[in-house]
Structures are given as C-alpha cells and as structure tokens.
C-alpha cells in the first residue's frame, strides 16, 4: 500500500518509538540502566515495552511523570495477593471474543490489543500486547452487536483502536454504520498524546463518514503530555465536531499531588477536553507501585470541588473486580439522617448543613 504524505508521518513516528530491549539499553534511559537484560525480558513478557518517541527527550531529562508511565521497572515483577489477572472481570461479560457487554446500552469492543505506547500500569496487561483479533473475531462481534438492539453505543478500546491502519478502521466504521440501533461510536485512545500525527484529515474523514455520533475519550495523565503536537491533534478533533473527554488514572508520583492534578485538569479544559473519569488504579498484577491509599485519593478529589471550575472536575471512579462495574466515589458527606432529612457537607468550608428536602407525593399548602 502506498502511503500519501500526511498518512506516512504517523507510521514513521510510530517506528521511532523504543520497542526493543536493545534500543532501550542503547538510549540509556535512567531507570533502565540498573536493570539486567534478563529482568527487562521478564518484564516484557508480562507487558510489551514501547516508549513514545515524542517524550524521549523529556524522559532523558528525568521527567518522573513521563518516565514512570513508560519506562519498565523491577516493581512490575512484584505481585501482591489482592492483585488479579483480570482485575475488572472483562471475561465474565464477554459473549464473543474481544467484546464485553456489561452494561445494557453499550458494548466495549477491542479490535486490537496493540498500543502506540505501553503504559506500565496498564490494567489490561494480560490481554494487551498478547492477544490478537482477526477477521473471524470481527465478524462475530459485528454479528452480536447487530443482533442486540438494546445496544446504543459501541466503545472501541483495546489496545488502542487508532493504531489500526485506515483501511481496517474504515471497515469497522462501515460495518457499524450499517447497524441502525447504533447511534454512538466512542473511541478510547491514548494516541493524541503519544502519537499525535495519527490524527490526520483522512482519519477524521473516515470517522465522520460513518454518519454516527463520534466521541473520543482520550487517555492523558499529566500536563506535560499536552505537547504542541498533542494540542494540535485535539484541536483537529474539536474543530471537526468530535467531542473529546478526558480519562486519567490517578497515579503515584505522576499526578497524585493537588498541583499536578489541577495542572492536568485545567490544561485539558484549555484544550477543549472535558475531564470525565479519574480512575483509581485497578488491581492489576505488578502495579502496586502506582497506587496511593484510597483515602488519599478521595481527599485529593474532594479538594478540587469548591476550588476550581466545575468544567475541570472529573468523577473519581473505582472499577470493581469480577465485572461488578464502575462506581463513582462521593468525596463529600451526604447522609439521610432521618426520612427526607439530610446532612450535607459544604465544599466551601467543610461545615455540615442539615436540610429538609420535600417528600413525595406532596400535599399542596393552602
């Protein structure tokens, strides 16, 4: 296949990422030099390695927030008893390979298990970089979706759906376009941050060509990820009428301070990206070094309300094991003390306000 010019850029940029142990050792990135080759090989066997070229200079300057996300460390080989192979129970609600149907009106479809960078905290690390999709799994997924008219939204996740070449994405869009009950196609992607040149005019055209409402949930964890190229990619999406929301993971030493979190969230809004979910890290094996105590996570998020614009505030989310689903964590106290009588915590000064809200049905006052 001959690539035209803009199309060619992203393939070239992807090829520049560091994905072999030799190259990693050669590039001499700080955290890696202390690891033996055999350790790196062991780590790679759990989750492949790929450091995005776009952050290499910053990583070499010891930018912890970027280095810790992409550079493998020995901690990944330490497993704790509460950590799970399938931390959110993807397989429990999987009617056909690559598809998870946990919530009635939407399915998660993984058309690929490859990513443009491998995040060391990846919660799907036993699938990502190991499993493969093929024509048969695609056929089965499209068939299931078309047979289930309660499905309103298809979430393309993975892996990263945007590492797929245009002809494959076009095929997915064409298949979904044929299904009348599908109104929304949402893409979960890290690409605008780690491979921004992938957001080409051709890509936009093929997404819009589906005729469905396209939403993008971009995965970004620190303000430094909003490079000029990333800002450009996000603008392209916004200017083409594709709403973008932010999904971040709350990560130790990466965004677990109030300053780092506020900087991330405000930079997102400045880029027309609405913070949607802030995930407490799932209990994936070998990821303990990324978790902070839940109590601290709640306090951090609580500190945002009443301080920064509501536009910048995401919902803190825990995704329960065994497919029990996502739950929003309420940071502020809210207790029904007695029938319709509530005690609520003020985000301004922390005081507890007691307040009666109306009962139902209500008799008219004469």
Ligand X SMILES: *Cc1c(COP(=O)(O)O)cnc(C)c1O
Kindly list the catalytic residues.
102-103, 106, 115, 119, 122, 124, 282, 319, 326
Concatenating the DSSP letter of every residue in 65-134 gives HHHHHHS--GGGG---TT-BSSTT-GGGG-SSTTEEEEETTEEEE-S----SS--TT-TTTTTTTT----
Q: Which position among 9, 11, 74, 106 is part of the footprint of ligand X (CB under 6 A)?
A: 106
Would you give the distance in Å from CA 284 to the centre of its chain?
Answer: 15
Cα–Cα distance list, 231 to 52, 101, 225, 228, 239 (Å): 16, 33, 9, 5, 12
Decide whether 55 or 109 has the Cβ nearer to ligand X.
109
271, 231 Cβ separation under 8 angstroms: yes
Would you state the structure tokens that stand for residue 233, as one six-digit string?
């990619």
Q: Which position among 128, 164, 265, 316 is part of the footprint of ligand SF4 (CB under 6 A)?
A: 128
254, 71 Cβ separation under 8 angstroms: no
Choices 43-51, 58-66, 95-103, 221-229 (CB under 6 A): range interacting with ligand X: 95-103
Decide whether 137 or 157 has the Cβ nearer to ligand SF4.
157
Task: Rule CB under 6 A: say whether 274 interacts with ligand X.
Answer: no
**Rounded Cα–Cα distance for residues 164 and 156 (Å):** 11
Task: Rule CB under 6 A: say whether 102 interacts with ligand X.
Answer: yes
Task: Rule CB under 6 A: say whether 119 interacts with ligand SF4.
Answer: yes
Choices 154-162, 267-275, 290-298, 335-343 (CB under 6 A): range interacting with ligand SF4: 154-162
**Rounded Cα–Cα distance for residues 327 and 325 (Å):** 7
102 binds, among ligand SF4, ligand X, none (CB under 5 to 8 A by kind): ligand X
The nearest distance, CB 314 to ligand SF4, in angstroms, is: 17
Task: Rule CB under 6 A: say whether 304 interacts with ligand SF4.
Answer: no
The nearest distance, CB 85 to ligand SF4, in angstroms, is: 15
Task: Rule CB under 6 A: say whether 101 interacts with ligand SF4.
Answer: no
**Rounded Cα–Cα distance for residues 283 and 285 (Å):** 6
SS3 (DSSP) at 254: coil
Task: Rule CB under 6 A: say whether 115 interacts with ligand SF4.
Answer: yes
Residues with Cβ within 8 Å of 235's Cβ and at least 6 positions away in sequence, in order, are: 271, 272
Q: Which residues bind ligand X (CB under 6 A)?
A: 88, 100, 102-103, 106, 108, 155, 326
Q: Which residues bind ligand SF4 (CB under 6 A)?
A: 115, 118-119, 122, 124, 128, 158-160, 190, 219
């Amino acid at each position: 296949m001959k690539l035209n010019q803009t199309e060619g850029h992203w393939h070239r940029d992807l090829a520049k990422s560091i994905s072999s142990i030799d190259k990693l050792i050669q590039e001499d990135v700080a955290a890696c030099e202390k690891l033996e080759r055999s350790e790196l090989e062991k780590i790679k066997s759990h989750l492949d390695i790929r450091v995005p070229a776009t952050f290499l200079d910053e990583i070499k300057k010891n930018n912890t927030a970027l280095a810790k996300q992409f550079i493998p460390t020995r901690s990944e080989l330490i497993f704790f008893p509460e950590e799970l192979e399938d931390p959110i129970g993807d397989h429990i609600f999987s009617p056909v390979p690559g598809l998870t149907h946990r919530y009635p009106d939407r399915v998660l479809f993984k058309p690929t298990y490859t990513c443009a960078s491998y995040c060391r905290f990846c919660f799907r690390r036993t699938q990502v970089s190991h499993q493969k999709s093929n024509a048969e799994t695609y056929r089965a997924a499209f068939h299931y979706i078309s047979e289930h008219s309660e499905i309103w939204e298809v979430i393309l996740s993975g892996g990263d759906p945007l590492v797929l070449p245009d002809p494959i994405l076009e095929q997915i869009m064409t298949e979904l376009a044929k299904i009348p009950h599908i109104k929304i196609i949402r893409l979960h992607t890290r690409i605008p941050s780690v491979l921004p040149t992938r957001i080409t005019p051709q890509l936009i055209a093929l997404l819009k060509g589906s005729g469905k409402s396209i939403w993008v949930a971009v995965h970004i964890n620190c303000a430094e990820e909003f490079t000029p190229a990333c800002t450009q990619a996000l603008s392209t999406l916004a200017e083409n009428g594709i709403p973008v929301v932010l999904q971040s993971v709350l990560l130790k030493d990466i965004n677990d301070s109030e300053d780092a979190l506020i900087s991330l969230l405000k930079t997102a809004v400045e880029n027309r990206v609405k913070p949607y979910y802030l995930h407490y890290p799932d209990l994936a094996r070998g990821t303990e070094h990324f978790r902070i105590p839940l109590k601290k996570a709640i306090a951090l998020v609580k500190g945002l309300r009443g301080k920064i614009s509501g536009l910048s505030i995401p919902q803190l989310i825990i995704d329960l094991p065994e497919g029990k689903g996502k739950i929003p964590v309420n940071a502020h106290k809210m207790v029904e003390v007695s029938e319709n009588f509530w005690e609520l915590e003020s985000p301004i000064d922390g005081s507890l306000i007691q307040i009666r809200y109306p009962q139902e049905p209500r008799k008219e006052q004469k």
